[in-house]
Structure 1
Amino acid sequence: MEDLYVIEQGCTLKKLDQQILITKGGMKIDSIPIFKIDKILLFGNQQITSQALNLAFEYGVDVLFLSYTGKLKGKLSSINSKNIYLKLSQYETWKDKQKRLDISRKIVKAKIWNQYMLLKKYNISEMSLLEQMKKIDIVNDIENIMGYEGAASKIYFDKFKILIPNNFVFDGRNRRPPKDEVNALLSLTYTLLLNKIISEVDKNGLEGNIGFLHSIKYGRESLALDLLEPFRQYFCDAFVLKLLRRKELVKEDFESRDDGIFLTELAFRKYINKFKTESSKIDEDIREQVIQIKKHILGEGDYKPMMRK
C-alpha cells in the first residue's frame, strides 16, 4: 500500500468500480485500485466525489486536504476508534507529571542522539551534543528539557550548515515563510512527515491533541509533534541533505513568492516523487512508534523513540 499524492491542479477524484479514478477536464489521468492506497493527499485545488469518499472510508483510507505547499487544512476519515478507555488512559498519563517527564526526556534524548549520529555520518564528531543529553537526565521539568533541546539544536545546525553545498545559503532555521532554499526543504519535509504521523495516530484511536513534550494548545496535533521529533534527523534532515548534495534539486528549482522561498511547480512534483519513495521506507517505523506509545499509555509496554545506529 502506498500514499496517493494528487498534485496536478484542478483534478477530480471519482469512484470507478473498486478504483480511484483521477481526471482533469474530463480526461483520465490515472486510476488506482483502492486496496493499493494507504491514504490520499490532495494538494491545492482538487475535488473528490462522495462516491469516492465512501469507497475510501470502506477501506479505511484517510483523505487529507493540504495547501499547495503541504500544510494540512483538514482530514476526512472513517469513524474514529471508539476506544474511550485508551483516550482516558492517555489523559491520565498526561496528568501524571512523572510519566509526562519520562516520555519527554526519552523523546529529546533520541532527537539529540540522532543529531549527533547524522553529523557523525559526515565525519563531524560533536561531543557537546552528548553533553546536552547527559544534562537532560538530571532535570525535573519539561521546560528545562526544552531548554537543552534548544541548545542542542543550535549546536547541531551550526554544524549542519557545513554540509550544505556552497551555492546555497543557510544560517540556521527560519520559517513561516522560509527565507532560503534549505529552510524551504526542511519545513516542507517536516510538514509532510507530520501528516503521515497524524494519520497513523488517528488510526490507532489516540487523542492527537494530547502530547507529552509539546504542551496542549487549541487545534495543535501535540502527540504527532512529539513523535515527529526523533524523525527530524532520523529521516527529514538526512533526506534534505541527500537531495542537495546529489544535486537532485538545484537553486533554479526555487522561486521567491509570498515573502518566502518555495519550490517551483515542476520542482515540487519532482520533490514529491522523491519524498514518496524515500518516506515509504520508514512507514513501518512510524507505525511501530505509534503502537509503542499506545502500548506504553495502556501500561502494556515500553516506548523507545527511533534512534540512529
Structure 2
Amino acid sequence: MGNPLILNGYGIKITVDNGRLVIKNGNRSSEEKPESYYLQPNQKKITSILIYGQTGYISLEAFKWISLQNIQLNIFNWDGSLLSSVNQEKENNGKRKIAQYETYLDEDKRLGIAKNLIKAKITNSIKILDSLPFPVIETHLIVPYLNEVDNAKDIPELMGYEATAAKIYWKEFMKAIPEKWGFVERSGRESSDYTNTMLNYGYALLEAECLRIINTVGLDPCIGFLHEMRNEKRSLAYDLQEIFRGEIDVVVYKLLSKGYRVPKTDFLRMNNYSLRLREGGTDKLSKAYETRMSERIEYEGKLIPRRKVIERKGFELAEYVEGRRENINFLY
C-alpha cells in the first residue's frame, strides 16, 4: 500500500475544499487536538488511507477525489477485520475474467493452482520457523505434509494437509512468543489474547494489499481457486494472502518479542472479553507492516520490495489463467 495515512478516534472527517482533499483525524481524548491534512491533486505522498476510527463521515465528493487519485481507502472493523476496501480497478479486462472463470471450472487446473498455493504457504512457514532464534523449534515436523501436497486428489484433501501443517506451525511458532502475551493457539476473529489480536489486524492489512493487486491485474476477487465462493467472501484475495501470511507473523513476532514495543496499554478489553487495538497499537502495527513490505528481497535475480513480489505473483496468476504462462509457481 506504500505510504499510508492512518486515521483513528472519533469524529473523522474527509471532505474536498477548493480541489484539495481535507482530512481531519479523530479525537482520541478531550484534551487532544486532532491533526488535519490537506492533499493536493497528483500529490504522491499518500498512497492509502487506513481508517480504524469509530465515528465520522466521508463526503461523496471525497470518494470521487480519492478514486481519481488512485488512493486506496481501507475501513477496518473494531476487531481489525477489513470491512471495505475502495480502490480503482486499473485493468477492466473482461477477457481475463472470463479466462479466470473457465480456469475455475476446470477441476484439474483449479486443483493445480490450489496445490501451488499450499506448497508456497507451507514452504514459507518452514522458512519463518527456521528464521526464529529458538533451537527448540522443530521445523522438520512440517516437512512430511509439504511432501503430501502433490498426492492430494481434491481440494478438501489438500486443505486437510494444510490444516495439519498449520496446527504444527502454530504450536512451534508459539515457542517464540513470550508467555505474557497468552498465546496458546491460533484463533479467529474476536480473539481474547494479545498475539491473535495483532495477527488478525495484520492479516487484514495484507488482505487489503491483495485486493489492490487483484484489481490492478483485472481479476475477479470473488473467484478463488483454493477458497470456496461465498457471497461475503473475497476468495481470490484469501488465496493470494495464503502465500504471504508468514510476513505478518514475522511482524507480530518482532513487535511482541523485541523489547515489547507494543505494551498492553495499546489494547482494550471489550465487554465480551475479546481484545481490540487502541490507536497506538494500530499505528505501531501499520508502520511495522509497511517497513516489512518495503524491505528488498531477491526475486528472479533482482532486489525488489516484498510488496512488488506480491504484485508479481498476481500478474503471473493472471497470465497463467489466460494461457500466456505455461506453469504457475507461487514460491518466492
TM-score, normalised to structure 2's length? 0.84
Please state if 1:266 is matched with 2:280: yes
2:252 maps to 240
Aligned counterparts of 2:291 and 2:129: Cα–Cα separation in 1:
23
- Per the alignment, do residues 41 and 268 of structure 1 end up closer, same or farther by CA in structure 2, a change over 3 Å counting? closer
Please state if 1:195 is matched with 2:221: no
Unaligned runs of 5+ in 2: 28-32, 296-305
2:219 maps to 206
Unaligned runs of 5+ in 1: none
2:82 maps to 72
Aligned counterparts of 2:145 and 2:17: Cα–Cα separation in 1:
55
1:51 maps to 61
What amino acid is the match of 1:29? S
- Per the alignment, do residues 114 and 79 of structure 1 end up closer, same or farther by CA in structure 2, a change over 3 Å counting? closer
1:291 maps to which of 315, 318, 331: 315
Aligned counterparts of 2:263 and 2:311: Cα–Cα separation in 1:
33
Give the CA deviation at 1:78: 4.0
What amino acid is the match of 2:206? L
Aligned counterparts of 2:279 and 2:75: Cα–Cα separation in 1:
18
Aligned counterparts of 1:13 and 1:276: Cα–Cα separation in 2:
23
Give the CA deviation at 1:82: 3.2
Partner deviation per Cα, 1:249-286 (whole Å, 9 max, x = no partner): 13343232133122233333333333333334432122
The RMSD of aligned alpha carbons is 2.3
What amino acid is the match of 1:15? V
Please state if 1:303 is matched with 2:304: no
Give 3-state SS (helix, strand or coil) of 1:137's partner. Answer: helix
Aligned counterparts of 1:149 and 1:74: Cα–Cα separation in 2:
28
2:97 maps to 87
TM-score, normalised to structure 1's length? 0.90
- Per the alignment, do residues 90 and 68 of structure 1 end up closer, same or farther by CA in structure 2, a change over 3 Å counting? same
2:7 maps to 6
What amino acid is the match of 1:176? R
- Per the alignment, do residues 125 and 32 of structure 1 end up closer, same or farther by CA in structure 2, a change over 3 Å counting? farther
Partner deviation per Cα, 1:227-260 (whole Å, 9 max, x = no partner): 0111111x01111101011111133432321331
1:38 maps to which of 28, 43, 47: 47
> Greater CA deviation, 218-227 or 282-291?
282-291
Aligned counterparts of 2:252 and 2:13: Cα–Cα separation in 1:
31
- Per the alignment, do residues 294 and 183 of structure 1 end up closer, same or farther by CA in structure 2, a change over 3 Å counting? same
- Per the alignment, do residues 17 and 278 of structure 1 end up closer, same or farther by CA in structure 2, a change over 3 Å counting? farther
Given that residues 88 and 215 in structure 2 are in contact (C-alpha distance below 8 angstroms), is that contact kept between their aligned partners in structure 1?
no
Give 3-state SS (helix, strand or coil) of 2:269's partner. Answer: strand
Given that residues 175 and 187 in structure 1 are in contact (C-alpha distance below 8 angstroms), is that contact kept between their aligned partners in structure 2?
yes
Given that residues 149 and 158 in structure 2 are in contact (C-alpha distance below 8 angstroms), is that contact kept between their aligned partners in structure 1?
yes
Aligned counterparts of 2:316 and 2:56: Cα–Cα separation in 1:
35
Given that residues 294 and 307 in structure 2 are in contact (C-alpha distance below 8 angstroms), is that contact kept between their aligned partners in structure 1?
yes
1:139 maps to 152
Give 3-state SS (helix, strand or coil) of 1:36's partner. Answer: coil
Given that residues 85 and 208 in structure 2 are in contact (C-alpha distance below 8 angstroms), is that contact kept between their aligned partners in structure 1?
no
Percent of residue pairs bearing the same amino acid type: 27
Given that residues 116 and 125 in structure 1 are in contact (C-alpha distance below 8 angstroms), is that contact kept between their aligned partners in structure 2?
no
Aligned counterparts of 2:268 and 2:9: Cα–Cα separation in 1:
19
Aligned counterparts of 1:292 and 1:195: Cα–Cα separation in 2:
19
Partner deviation per Cα, 1:195-248 (whole Å, 9 max, x = no partner): 111122123221111000101111200001000111111x01111101011111
What amino acid is the match of 1:13? I
